[in-house]
A and B are shown apart, each in its own frame.
Chain A
Amino acid sequence: GAVVSQHPSWVICKSGTSVKIECRSLDFQATTMFWYRQFPKQSLMLMATSNEGSKATYEQGVEKDKFLINHASLTLSTLTVTSAHPEDSSFYICSAAKSGTRSYEQYFGPGTRLTVT
Chain B
Amino acid sequence: GDSVTQMEGPVTLSEEAFLTINCTYTATGYPSLFWYVQYPGEGLQLLLKATKADDKGSNKGFEATYRKETTSFHLEKGSVQVSDSAVYFCARLNNGNYKLTFGKGTLLTVNP
A residues with CB within 8 A of B: 6, 32, 34, 41-44, 46, 49, 93, 95, 97, 104-111
Contact = CB atoms under 8 A, between A and B. Distances in A.
B45 interface: yes
Contact of A46 (B45, B99, B103): B99
A46 B100 contact: yes
Contacts of A107: 46
The DSSP consensus for interface residues of chain B is: strand
B102 A43 contact: yes
A101 to B, nearest CB: 12
Given A44-B89, A104-B95, A111 B105 contact: no
B93 A108 contact: no
B44 A44 contact: yes
Given A43-B104, A44-B89, A104 B98 contact: yes
Contacts, number: 51
A108 B44 contact: yes
A39 B89 CA distance: 14
A38 B104 CA distance: 11
B43 interface: yes
A107 to B, nearest CB: 8
20 contacts: A6-B43, A32-B98, A34-B99, A41-B107, A43-B89, A44-B89, A44-B102, A46-B101, A49-B97, A97-B98, A104-B32, A105-B34, A105-B46, A105-B49, A106-B98, A108-B36, A108-B43, A108-B46, A111-B42, A111-B43
Interface string B80-93: 00000000010001
A34 B43 contact: no
Contacts of A105: 32, 34, 46, 49, 93
A60 B7 CA distance: 26
Given A43-B103, A43-B104, A44-B89, A93 B98 contact: no
Contacts of B101: 46
Contacts of A42: 104-105
Given A34-B99, A107-B46, 17 more contacts: A41-B105, A42-B104, A43-B105, A44-B100, A46-B100, A46-B101, A49-B97, A49-B98, A49-B99, A93-B43, A95-B44, A104-B93, A104-B98, A105-B46, A106-B93, A108-B43, A109-B43
